[in-house]
């Protein structure tokens, strides 16, 4: 891309129509330097966010508050602070900056004046790590990547960031405690038709034993940690609501963005994926390319002849975060049976989330979190879902698709 400063103005007025009585907003990136992330002011005594709703704004009550009869809500930063999960000051600061970046991406994705970015206008240069035009980065991916990188730099808590949009990891600073891996904007090719998109991330501890190595080598090795070493993982869903879902290894929790306060509010504490669902999510237009085992499994469950004696329904958005979020809440399985999804940026974080919600993540044979990455952009089949559905699916002989004819859509 050219200059990182993107001033996107609305289209010129049509002379055949009368002028509007108001001035349309403009979206400015990067933000002015004197702006500070909303919700990042923390009390040193309690660790709770000090920002409160403006006078006259509606009160938001989370499911947690409703179930306990409480009158207040719990924000993301309150939850992770000393009054809640107490994940540590360094991680709280990192999350403060990351959630601010995701609020900016949510606004960018929803802006009518950025439609050209979503269509790929602006001359984005495909990364050499992409295997097809379908996966070539689009300008909106790159802008989202820049937003996240800038926020992580300002946090002072991230040593290295590895992104799906970059060929190699970016070393940020020597002494910071964390490593972040991220898919900045999954499903961005769907933006032009307003289909949900998302950000996926994982957080690791920096491996201090690698500090003596050259920068390029230690950046690479820090980013290739096994999913079992994740400190935290999450996704942000940009849809009818903006959802921030995260796990620190003891439960999976979802927070919804309240636009009246600018805060992520806890709405789904301690999510438990149903042990069995009644939905499968896969692009079954590829049915005839699948191995026999996967075809038999799908044929069986949609006829109601599997271990669960009810017919399954198909639900497929073709946006990984959206399909995963539905599976996390309703149960069932979401899958891509071919070597397509990335182990580091997608499979590991989502498997971490679903395992800590009582589900399972697999490549069809092996638990995802036990696979040691060997390449930064390593791809593999991915199956995620309810534990009973996953066990039934994996009982079939062959469910990994070996034929890859090179799909255009």
Active-site residue (options: 76, 91, 141, 369): 141
Q: Provide mean pLDDT across the span 273-300.
A: 97
Told to judge if 63 belongs to the known catalytic residues of this protein, a careful annotator would answer no
User: Looking at the DSSP assignment, which residues form a beta bridge with residue 160?
Assistant: 171, 179
Active-site residue (options: 78, 166, 186, 389): 186
At 384, is the secondary structure helix, strand, or coil?
strand
Q: From the centroid of its chain, how far is CA 316?
A: 17
Told to judge if 355 belongs to the known catalytic residues of this protein, a careful annotator would answer no
Whole-angstrom distance, CA of residue 168 vs CA of residue 394? 34
Told to judge if 211 belongs to the known catalytic residues of this protein, a careful annotator would answer no
In tens, the pLDDT along 58-103 reads 333 444 444 444 457 899 999 999 888 999 999 999 999 999 999 9
pLDDT (0 to 100) of residue 3: 40
pTM across the whole model: 0.81
Quick check: 299 pLDDT over 90?
yes
Interior angle at CA 171, CA 169 and CA 173, nearest 5:
155
Told to judge if 135 belongs to the known catalytic residues of this protein, a careful annotator would answer yes
Active-site residue (options: 164, 166, 355, 389): 164
Interior angle at CA 408, CA 402 and CA 409, nearest 5:
100
**In angstroms, how far is the first alpha carbon of the chain from the final one?**
25
pLDDT (0 to 100) of residue 133: 57
At 181, is the secondary structure helix, strand, or coil?
strand
pLDDT tier, 151 (very low <50, low <70, confident <90, very high otherwise) = very high
Q: Which residue has the higher pLDDT, 26 or 333?
A: 333
Burial tier of 197 (Cβ tally within 10 Å: 0-12, 13-18, 19+)? buried
* Beta-sheet strands, E only, within 227-332: 232-238, 242-247, 252-258, 263-268, 279-281, 313-314
Told to judge if 167 belongs to the known catalytic residues of this protein, a careful annotator would answer no
Query: H or E segment at 147?
Result: helix 139-155
Told to judge if 216 belongs to the known catalytic residues of this protein, a careful annotator would answer no
Active-site residue (options: 78, 146, 166, 183): 183
- Which residue from 146, 197, 187 is spatially nearest to 170, judged by alpha carbons? 146
Whole-angstrom distance, CA of residue 349 vs CA of residue 320? 12
Active-site residue (options: 78, 263, 346, 389): 346
pLDDT (0 to 100) of residue 188: 84
Quick check: 388 pLDDT over 80?
yes
Whole-angstrom distance, CA of residue 108 vs CA of residue 121? 15
Active-site residue (options: 185, 350, 380, 384): 185
Domains annotated on the chain, with CATH:
76-118+136-270 (3.30.540.10), 279-395 (3.40.190.80)
In tens, the pLDDT along 169-225 reads 999 999 999 999 999 999 988 888 889 999 999 999 999 999 999 999 999 999 999
């Amino acid at each position: 891309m050219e200059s990182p400063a993107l001033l996107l103005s609305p289209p010129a007025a049509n002379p055949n129509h009368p002028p509007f009585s108001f001035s349309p907003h403009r979206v400015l990136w990067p933000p002015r330097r004197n702006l500070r992330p909303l919700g990042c002011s923390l009390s040193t005594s309690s660790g709770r966010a000090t920002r409160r709703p403006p006078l006259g704004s509606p009160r938001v009550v989370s499911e947690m508050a409703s179930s306990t009869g409480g009158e207040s809500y719990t924000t993301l930063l309150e939850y992770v602070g000393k009054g809640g999960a107490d994940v540590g000051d360094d991680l709280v600061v990192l999350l403060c900056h990351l959630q601010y970046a995701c609020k900016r991406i949510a606004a960018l994705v929803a802006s009518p004046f950025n439609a050209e970015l979503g269509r790929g206008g602006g001359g984005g240069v495909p990364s050499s790590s992409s295997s097809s035009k379908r996966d070539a980065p689009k300008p909106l991916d790159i802008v989202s990547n820049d937003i996240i990188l800038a926020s992580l730099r300002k946090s002072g808590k991230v040593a290295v960031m590895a992104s799906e949009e970059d060929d190699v990891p970016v070393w940020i600073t020597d002494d910071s405690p964390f490593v972040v891996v991220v898919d900045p904007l999954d499903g961005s090719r769907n933006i032009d038709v307003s289909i949900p998109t998302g950000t996926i991330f994982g957080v690791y501890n920096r491996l201090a034993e690698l500090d003596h190595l050259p920068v390029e080598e230690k950046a690479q090795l820090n980013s290739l940690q096994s999913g079992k070493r994740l400190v935290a993982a999450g996704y942000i869903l940009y849809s009818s609501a903006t959802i921030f879902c995260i796990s620190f290894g003891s439960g999976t929790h979802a927070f919804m963005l309240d636009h009246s306060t600018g805060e992520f509010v806890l709405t789904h504490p301690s999510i438990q994926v149903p042990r069995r669902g009644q939905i499968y999510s896969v692009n079954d237009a590829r049915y005839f390319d699948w191995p026999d085992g996967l075809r038999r499994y799908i044929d069986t469950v949609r006829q109601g002849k599997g271990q669960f004696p009810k017919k399954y329904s198909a639900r497929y958005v073709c946006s990984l975060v959206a399909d995963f979020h539905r599976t996390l809440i309703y149960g069932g399985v979401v899958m891509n049976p071919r070597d397509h999804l990335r182990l580091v940026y997608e499979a590991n974080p989502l498997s971490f989330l679903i395992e800590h919600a009582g589900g399972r993540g697999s490549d069809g044979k092996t638990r995802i979190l036990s696979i040691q990455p060997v390449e930064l952009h390593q791809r593999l089949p991915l199956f995620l879902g309810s534990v009973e559905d996953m066990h039934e699916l994996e009982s079939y002989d062959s469910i990994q698709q070996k034929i890859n004819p090179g799909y255009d859509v």
